[in-house]
Amino acid sequence: MSRLLFLFAIAVIVYLLLKSFRNRMSGKNAPGENTPGQAEDMVRCVHCGVHLPKHESILVDNKFYCSKAHHRIHTEKPE
């Protein structure tokens, strides 16, 4: 009986290891994909100075804005 339990435990361990290996190989964490904890480029809004992720910003004439309203306000005021 103890041999049967031992073989069952070995089978479960092998199954879990294979499942873990298969999940890693399937590309769930593919390179270039943003995962929690991964660094992302931050930019500063030209108008208000707030820092935000680059993918959330608005880029116009090589200047970053946090919103369309700030882009509009910044381009309307004389420099």
Whether residue 70 contacts residue 62, with contact meaning beta carbons closer than 8 Å, is answered with no
For residue 34, pLDDT beyond 60: no
Please tell me the pTM assigned to this model: 0.50
Please give the tally of structural domains in the chain: 1
Please check whether residue 63 lies inside any domain of the structure: yes
Please check whether residue 35 lies inside any domain of the structure: no
3-class DSSP assignment, residue 52: strand
Please check whether residue 69 lies inside any domain of the structure: yes
Please check whether residue 34 lies inside any domain of the structure: no
Q: What percent of the chain has pLDDT over 70?
A: 82
Please check whether residue 61 lies inside any domain of the structure: yes
For residue 25, pLDDT beyond 70: yes
The burial class, CB within 10 Å (0-12 / 13-18 / 19+), for 65 is buried
- Parent domain of 52: 2-28+40-76
For residue 2, pLDDT beyond 60: yes
